[in-house]
Amino acid sequence: MGIVVRKLVLLDRLARLHRVRRRNPDDEDLVAVIVGIEADLGATVSQRVAAHFLGISHTEVGRRVRTGEVPLVENPEGAFEVPVPVLLRTLEGRDTSPAPSPVRTGAVARSDPAARSLDYHRALSEALTPDDVADARYRVHKWRNQGTLAPVYADRWEHLLSLPLEQIRGALNDTTEAAADLRQNTPFVGVLSELERRSLLETAS
Amino acid sequence: MNRQEFEHVVAAAANVVEEDQFVVIGSQSILGSVPLAPSGLLRSMELDIYPAKSPERAIEIDGSLGEGSPFHEVFGYYAHGVGPETAKAPTGWEGRLIASEIPPRPRSERRPVAFCLEPHDLVLAKCVAGRERDWRFAKVAIAAGLVDRATLLSRVGGLPIGSDGRQAIEARLPQGS
């Protein structure tokens, strides 16, 4: 099996398994399988693979990259590729709004990072759905295992994310020191579109 | 965040703003001088950073690599664009920054260097922030022998806070192991 075909097979499996995971967020075996496939596939894929997966031309992917509809991230090897989570959301028809050009620095952006984080979480709490919570629980598990989320924060997030949605929203807006610490290690990504997220940054600056 | 992830963020920031020199403050700056720092000092997933020659462009780093970005989603860590005023460190801290070269990426012409807070300046900046996790950081750093209490005490007078605050820090600084 060629590399491209193999990656497409893995992407297809991931897309299906993530849909199943959202319906069964407590299934740890399922989470373990997904984490394993993601490790096998890698965090990013080439634009060529992305084009095949989305069923569009390479030229069209390039256009979407230029407009910001499809972001590229620099992986540890220095290659700029399409993030797998974004690709999966694009396939599902979620978050297709383009990102604006690099955030402008007409004004000096010196607002407090903690305040920016609170604004970000306040905004996402308004849009929060059970699927977003299920996705966050998945990321807590995955990042804990890969070592990027410290156990103390993973434990706190696991507890918080097991609570009713309204309580989670309340916690995301909490202004205590403990809440600020937790937000600094947030598993909530992809709830806001890139356009919304960057607009918040421009507002803060 | 570990040293490899630290290097990844700095290298990515270099490509975002197309500059090579960065100042790193906050907890992760310990990785500039102590690549294998104790895990108790590395509990956060964010890196506080700004371009040394153009701090105002830190917001561009947030845009591409910041909290909630695709970069954050993919890798589980991210960059916080900050500024020199964020570092509440003792007078002269900028002259004590420790340069940490970042291995060049195969496909990049950039040669990034991260100028990181000297460990004593970092611990004292954390003490000024004064949150419980900041005091835990100080305790772990002292216990690990990464900083010594005498040097810390000698720099308290240079902190950008009032005398009451300095006295409180002097009184609360953990003893060494």
Type of residue numbered B96:
R
For residue A25, the model assigns a pLDDT of 82
Q: Which residues of B touch A43 (CB under 8 A)?
A: 74-75
For residue B20, the model assigns a pLDDT of 97
Higher pLDDT, A9 or A193: A9
A168 has pLDDT over 50? yes
The pLDDT tens digits for B28-78 are 999 999 999 998 898 899 999 999 999 999 999 999 999 999 999 999 999
Asked if A117's CB is within 8 angstroms of B106's CB, the reply is no
Evaluate the CA torsion angle B139, B144, B146, B150 in order and state its sign.
positive
Pick from B60, B83, B132: CB nearest A110: B83
For residue B147, the model assigns a pLDDT of 95
CB burial class (10 A; 0-12, 13-18, 19+) of residue A45? buried
How close B16 gets to chain A, by Cα (Å)? 9
For Cα atoms A17, A21, A22, give the angle at the middle one, nearest 5 degrees.
125
Of A96-105, A112-121, A188-197, B153-162, highest mean pLDDT = B153-162
Alpha helix locations (H) across B2-131? 3-17, 30-33, 58-65, 70-75, 119-129
For residue A106, the model assigns a pLDDT of 37
Between CA A149 and CA A144 the distance in angstroms is: 5
For residue A105, the model assigns a pLDDT of 40
How close A96 gets to chain B, by Cα (Å)? 13
Beta strands in chain B (DSSP E): 21-25, 46-51, 78-81, 98-101, 113-116
A96: left (phi over 0), alpha (psi -120 to 50) or beta: alpha
Band of pLDDT at residue B107, cut at 50, 70 and 90: confident
- Residue of A14, A65, A73, A74 to mutate, interface with B, max B Cβ within 10 Å: A74
Closest C-alpha to B131, from A182, A171, A149, A148: A182
Average pLDDT over residues A4-26: 92
For residue A97, the model assigns a pLDDT of 55
A186 touches chain B (CB under 8 A): yes
Band of pLDDT at residue A109, cut at 50, 70 and 90: very low
For residue B177, the model assigns a pLDDT of 52
Q: At what angle do helices B119-129 and B163-172 cross, to 10 degrees?
A: 110
For residue B104, the model assigns a pLDDT of 85
CA-nearest residue to A145 within chain B is B76
CA-nearest residue to B65 within chain A is A73
Asked if A102's CB is within 8 angstroms of B48's CB, the reply is no
Asked if A184's CB is within 8 angstroms of B45's CB, the reply is yes
Contact partners, residue A178, CB within 8 Å, separation at least 6: none
The pLDDT tens digits for A89-105 are 888 876 555 555 444 44
The pLDDT tens digits for B133-169 are 999 999 999 999 999 999 999 999 999 999 999 999 9
The pLDDT tens digits for B91-102 are 999 999 999 999
Average pLDDT over residues A147-175: 95
A107 has pLDDT over 70? no
Between CA B11 and CA A131 the distance in angstroms is: 33
Please give the structure tokens belonging to residue A74: 């620099």
Contact partners, residue B168, CB within 8 Å, separation at least 6: none
The pLDDT tens digits for B2-26 are 999 999 999 999 999 999 999 999 9
Please give the structure tokens belonging to residue B60: 């561009």
The pLDDT tens digits for A28-57 are 899 999 999 999 999 999 999 999 999 999
B126 touches chain A (CB under 8 A): no
Q: At what angle do helices A3-23 and A130-146 cross, to 10 degrees?
A: 120
CB burial class (10 A; 0-12, 13-18, 19+) of residue A91? middle
For residue B67, the model assigns a pLDDT of 95
Listed by number, the residues of chain A in 83-102 with a beta carbon closer than 8 Å to a beta carbon of chain B are 83-86, 102
Average pLDDT over residues A142-162: 93
For residue A110, the model assigns a pLDDT of 44
